[in-house]
Structure 1
Amino acid sequence: MSALLDKPAARWWALAVLALTQLVVVLDTTIVAIALPDAQAALGMSDDQRQWLVTAYALTFGSLLLLGGRVADYWGRKRTFMVGMVGFGLASAWGGLAQGGTELIAARAVQGVFAALLAPAALAMVTVTFPHGKDRNKAFAIMGIVAGTGAAIGLLLGGVLTEFATWRWCLLVNVVFVVIGMVGGALLLTESKAEGDNRYDVWGTVTVILGLGSLVYGFTRAEHGWGSADTIGFLAGGVVMLAVFVWIQCRVAQPLLPLRVVAHRVRAGAFLVQAVIGSVMLGSMLYLTLYFQIVMGLTPLLAGVANVAMTVVIMGCTPVSTTMLDRFGPRPLLIAGPLFCAAGLFFFAMAITPAGSYVTQVLPGLVLLGIGFSGLFVPLQNLALTGVEPHDAGVASATVSSTFHIGGSIGIAVFTVLYAHTVADSLGSGAGQLAAFTDGYSTAFLAAGVGMLAAAAIAAFLIRGTKDELMPPRAAEHATVLVGAH
């Protein structure tokens, strides 16, 4: 076997294993979304519990991603990869066999914990396996394509499994991927880790997890009133914990998140825009999926297929966006992209009705969203590394991924509160159930559209500079590196 590993072709087989890992981690963000109505009915879950099936995974994944990168670099990337694989597989099996809503939510949270080990370990091994040159660019292009299409694959696969098997297979299918990944990882991956005196920022990790968790939970409690004691208490507690986290990062020798990474104006703008994108993609798209199944009455399979239209537009427009990025730089794309997304979301808010017509009330909005998102993904990764020193490249890119999932967690919580209040008001005024649900979805889309307008404003005010200033050669070369040696 060692002779095989010495061959150049073995690197590409190793990349196939790592790309599979990337696919599993990304699609698990969306594969469960299609199964939510069936899982909710089967386990007798409330609407509040239903949204936590997505939030629990995104929150633990996003909160622990930076720590996962540190563990991979310090403990060993292959070792972390294998442990992450085993844990992710066991958590998926637990979720697939869960007999209650609380148990399923707990399994989803554990999935997120091990995904936070898997993702950075896999991407760090790509940086080690392909250290430079055209092969490196090609490898990360493949990883980027997998990441970009994983969400759509999750929706489609979730629809197929829910339709022809059961919602439980949306989780159990991960066991198959895990077995393939473990065998391939054991045979093809080599160990590597950062050298030197490496220490974990334990208190920084604890405070950021408590802060983010308290903040997200506080938003979910807002359903009972923004002025209620528990809502204010958890939101205030989250802010205090995050302030303590920042204080710790200023004083420890090896911080979990060096503040120089987020203090840069352009990078700060990129992180904020990414957080809004996460809230829109995970939050509002969840409600579009529910609209397809609950109001329009589409089967899970057709609901998955209906969502693919946006991904097709993204893939078709990305080459154009890449050409524009090379010619004009990232700033125009990061202003125009959110505006297109906002237009699509406002279209949903105004167009959808209880009768439901996919071609006239949904498809135009998906096209606008696809155009908008195609102009956002590539430039955001470039800006993540603007002015970053090489040893901070990994943590800077990991922060982009973290802000996406944390933004998604907060977005889902906020949209759920707005949805619940609107549905209650509509039912109280005499509206039918489907009409009330549609009103709730429209409110969520409206709020998401306002968020995208805010993202465009953030880009306009914070992301400034010439193309060469915003995309220096070193940043452009490593733009797709999501996690590396810190």
Structure 2
Amino acid sequence: MLQSKGIILTIIIACQLLVVLDASVMVTSIPEIGRSLHMSTVNLTWVQNSYILAFGGFLLLGARAGDLLGRRRLLGAGIGLFTLTSLLAGLAPTAVVLLVSRAFQGFAAALATPAALALLSATFTEEKERSRAIAMYSAVAGAGGGIGLLLGGFFTDFISWRVGMFINVPIGIVLMYLVRRYVTESETKTGRFDLGGALTSVVGMSGLVYGFVQAAGQGWGSPGTWIWLGIGVASLTAFVLVEKRAGQPIVPLRLFASRQRSGAYLGRFLLVGGNFSLFFFIPQYLQNALGFGSLEAGLAFLPFTMAQFGMMFVMQSLVRRYGNRILLIVGLLLAVVGTLWMSRTIAAQTAYFPQMFFLMAIMGIGSGLIFQPLTALGLSNVDARDAGAASGLINVAHQSGASLGLAILVTVFNASFQAGQGSGQPFAHAVSHSLLGSAVFQASALAASLLLLMPARALAQKPVG
């Protein structure tokens, strides 16, 4: 399937970096985007959510399409569409054009990402090399967010926020060439698309997220809030029923028969629900409350990014010594403690250095311990026929957790902002409560991991690597 494993790994990592950067490069630009395109704080959440909702919503369909049409074809098509829509987003003259372009970027990412992760699973079959490849993939998935914040801040301060979209174009062109040159087509399968499953999953997640965004903007008393939440719940219920009866489902429910894989998917969903919001709220706090510029806000995440990326170089030896489960629990504990402490620090409007600086590093170490184990556990013991669906589920858990977590915590932010109007520092008050919500998500991920991944008999088993 490949001519050079090194080049294949480079393609996989570059594709993942492109996708992750795109989710974060706009974050430090959000205040400037709001000013230039006249968008409110609630509407600005759609700069992120239009991308990650489409991404998460169509991932399962993208994974199935890769099985039926060929992963090389889907990888090339996804990167090509991503490149084109990045150009359109950078040129967007209005908020509507930007949000539509971001949604199509998410759809393109949903085509490319499952194909890239399935390519990793199929290419690196030996345990040691797969562990190394997953470590690098996970490091990029985690640290790429911090790199995006830094690049976005630099471009916003010195050129324009639009450049954050334009840089995808040359990278995408190079990747399309490499895919065409070095990746051979996977064996395709006969079958059909599960359009019913795809439709109900997209409508379900979109309904839930839009319902929470409506709650943030219109309040819980708005009929629209409950209508959209009802549509979301009903559609996701229908999704499960459709998948149970479908001959060729986009989510084979047998994947959830493994307690370990189910725990990895749920843990990832909850963790990212809390973590992604950190990257949304903290940069705005730094800019709006402490007076940081966009680049300064990006630089403020360097302790987090460097600590998380640095963990990549020691993860293999740690996994061999302690196993994925133990590292996951330790990482989650660090994440919860760091986020709780950060929420108290922001409530007191403490200066960035030294307290926030060192908390960023602690949170980065925790994050660096988490994502490789979650990825490895989510792919463990998966049949070859389900490789695409399993990789799709990992990314669905990631993206749907990000979109739903942000939507929920934006409602917390708005309610806290209104309640804190008399405090003299309502913005810091609201961000503090939002980070407290992030810690609740992380603590829930810890509880799920302890319940599903750490039964007494599992501790005696050979570590999953």
Partner of 1:466: 458
User: Does the Cα contact within 8 Å between 1:78 and 1:192 map onto a contact in 2?
Assistant: yes
Residue 177 of structure 1: how far off its partner (Å):
1.1
User: Does the Cα contact within 8 Å between 1:383 and 1:470 map onto a contact in 2?
Assistant: no
Q: Bigger shift: 312-321 or 359-368?
A: 312-321
SS at match of 1:376: helix
Residue 241 of structure 1: how far off its partner (Å):
0.8
State TM-score, norm by structure 1. Answer: 0.88
1:79 alignment partner AA: R
- Over residues 263-296 of structure 1, what are the superposed CA-to-partner deviations in whole Å (9 max), with x where a residue is unaligned? 4333222212101221122112210111122211
Partner of 1:184: 178
Structure 1 residues 139 and 203 mapped into 2: Cα distance closer, same or farther (>3 Å)? Answer: same
State TM-score, norm by structure 2. Answer: 0.92
Looking at structure 1, the residues matched to 259 and 5 of structure 2 have their Cα atoms a distance apart, in angstroms, of: 38
User: Does the Cα contact within 8 Å between 1:27 and 1:153 map onto a contact in 2?
Assistant: yes
Q: Bigger shift: 312-321 or 92-101?
A: 312-321
1:456 alignment partner AA: L
- Over residues 49-79 of structure 1, what are the superposed CA-to-partner deviations in whole Å (9 max), with x where a residue is unaligned? 1111111111111111121111122112222
Partner of 1:206: 199
Structure 1 residues 469 and 229 mapped into 2: Cα distance closer, same or farther (>3 Å)? Answer: farther
- Over residues 32-61 of structure 1, what are the superposed CA-to-partner deviations in whole Å (9 max), with x where a residue is unaligned? 111111111111101111111111111111
Residue 31 of structure 1: how far off its partner (Å):
0.6
Residue 364 of structure 1: how far off its partner (Å):
2.9
Partner of 2:61: 67
Structure 1 residues 281 and 358 mapped into 2: Cα distance closer, same or farther (>3 Å)? Answer: same
Report matched runs for 1:146-157 at 5 Å: 146-157=140-151
Looking at structure 1, the residues matched to 328 and 135 of structure 2 have their Cα atoms a distance apart, in angstroms, of: 20
Report matched runs for 1:79-478 at 5 Å: 79-130=73-124, 132=126, 138-195=132-189, 197-223=190-216, 224-318=218-312, 322-352=316-346, 356-427=350-421, 429=422, 431-432=423-424, 435-463=425-453, 464=455, 465-467=457-459, 469=461, 471=463, 476=465
Q: Over aligned residue pairs, what C-alpha RMSD do you find?
A: 2.4
SS at match of 2:187: coil
Structure 1 residues 341 and 396 mapped into 2: Cα distance closer, same or farther (>3 Å)? Answer: same
Structure 1 residues 17 and 328 mapped into 2: Cα distance closer, same or farther (>3 Å)? Answer: closer
Residue 467 of structure 1: how far off its partner (Å):
4.2
- Over residues 384-420 of structure 1, what are the superposed CA-to-partner deviations in whole Å (9 max), with x where a residue is unaligned? 1345334324322321221111011011111111111
2:98 alignment partner AA: L
2:208 alignment partner AA: L
1:257 alignment partner AA: V
Structure 1 residues 122 and 184 mapped into 2: Cα distance closer, same or farther (>3 Å)? Answer: same
1:394 alignment partner AA: G
User: Does the Cα contact within 8 Å between 2:347 and 2:428 map onto a contact in 1?
Assistant: yes
1:189 alignment partner AA: V
1:462 alignment partner AA: L
Looking at structure 1, the residues matched to 81 and 214 of structure 2 have their Cα atoms a distance apart, in angstroms, of: 30
Residue 243 of structure 1: how far off its partner (Å):
0.9
Structure 1 residues 344 and 143 mapped into 2: Cα distance closer, same or farther (>3 Å)? Answer: closer
SS at match of 1:375: helix
Over the matched positions of the two proteins, sequence identity in percent amounts to: 33
Looking at structure 1, the residues matched to 116 and 261 of structure 2 have their Cα atoms a distance apart, in angstroms, of: 24
User: Does the Cα contact within 8 Å between 2:24 and 2:279 map onto a contact in 1?
Assistant: no
Residue 312 of structure 1: how far off its partner (Å):
1.6
- Over residues 71-93 of structure 1, what are the superposed CA-to-partner deviations in whole Å (9 max), with x where a residue is unaligned? 12211222222221221112111
Looking at structure 1, the residues matched to 325 and 127 of structure 2 have their Cα atoms a distance apart, in angstroms, of: 27
Residue 256 of structure 1: how far off its partner (Å):
0.6
SS at match of 2:379: coil
2:438 alignment partner AA: A
2:440 alignment partner AA: V
User: Does the Cα contact within 8 Å between 1:72 and 1:80 map onto a contact in 2?
Assistant: yes
State the aligned residue count.
462
User: Does the Cα contact within 8 Å between 2:319 and 2:463 map onto a contact in 1?
Assistant: no
User: Does the Cα contact within 8 Å between 2:134 and 2:375 map onto a contact in 1?
Assistant: no
SS at match of 1:29: helix
SS at match of 2:420: helix
